[in-house]
């Protein structure tokens, strides 16, 4: 099976814009608050169909 996309390695690579969350056709991405109150996307491996739309929409990539 193809690999789960990596949306960011370090938090500086994600501004929390939620574009990935919005485009995911499987609603496999959740925006979760970190300890400082900023939202970051988390992918549910069981829901993700590896379409990589989330990577394409992310302007950090």
Binding mask 3-42 for ligand SF4 (x = CB under 6 A): --x-xx-----xxxxxxx---x-x-xx-----------x-
As measured in angstroms, the least distance from the Cβ of 47 to ligand SF4 is: 7
DSSP notation for 12-55: GG-----HHHHH-TT--EEEEE-TTS-EEEEE-TTT-----HHH
Q: Phi and psi for 26 in degrees, rounded to 5?
A: -105, 5
Residues of this chain that interact with ligand SF4 (CB under 6 A) are 5, 7-8, 14-20, 24, 26, 28-29, 41, 43, 48-54, 57-58, 60
């Amino acid at each position: 099976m193809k690999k789960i996309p990596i949306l960011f390695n370090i938090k500086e690579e994600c501004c929390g814009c939620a574009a990935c969350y919005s485009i995911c056709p499987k609603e496999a991405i959740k925006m979760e608050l970190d300890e400082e109150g900023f939202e970051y996307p988390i992918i549910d491996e069981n829901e993700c169909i590896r379409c990589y739309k989330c990577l394409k929409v992310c302007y950090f990539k």
